[in-house]
Structure 1
Amino acid sequence: MLGQPVAAERQSIGIFGQWGAFRERQPPRCFAIAQPVRGPRPEGWQPFASISYWPQRRVAAQVHFRMSRQKRQGSAILLRIDDRTFQLAGGGVNAWAPDSRADGEIVRALRMGVGMSIETRSIRGTLVRDYYQLRGAATAIDAAAIDCAQRR
Structure 2
Amino acid sequence: MGIFQLWGAFSEPGRCYAIAQPYRAPRAERWKPFASVGYWPSRRVRSQIHFRLSREKRPGSAVLLRIDDQTFQLLAGGADAWAPDARADADILSAMRTGIEMTIETRSTSGTLVRDAYRLRGAATAIDAAAIACAGRK
TM-score category by the smaller chain?
Answer: over 0.9
* Structure 2 SS opposite 1:106: helix
Larger CA Rg, structure 1 vs 2: 1
Q: CA RMSD in A?
A: 0.8
User: Counterpart of 2:133?
Assistant: 147
Q: TM-score, normalised by structure 2?
A: 0.97
User: Counterpart of 2:49?
Assistant: 63
* Structure 2 SS opposite 1:56: helix
Does the alignment pair 1:97 with 2:83? yes
User: Counterpart of 2:99?
Assistant: 113
CA distance in 1, matches of 2:42, 2:122: 26
- State the number of aligned residues: 138
User: Counterpart of 1:17?
Assistant: 5
Q: TM-score, normalised by structure 1?
A: 0.89
User: Counterpart of 1:73?
Assistant: 59
User: Which stretches of structure 1, 4 residues or more, deviate above 3 A after TM superposition?
Assistant: none
Structure 1 unmatched ranges of 5 or more:
1-12
CA distance in 1, matches of 2:114, 2:124: 26
Structure 2 unmatched ranges of 5 or more:
none
Identity of aligned residues (%): 68
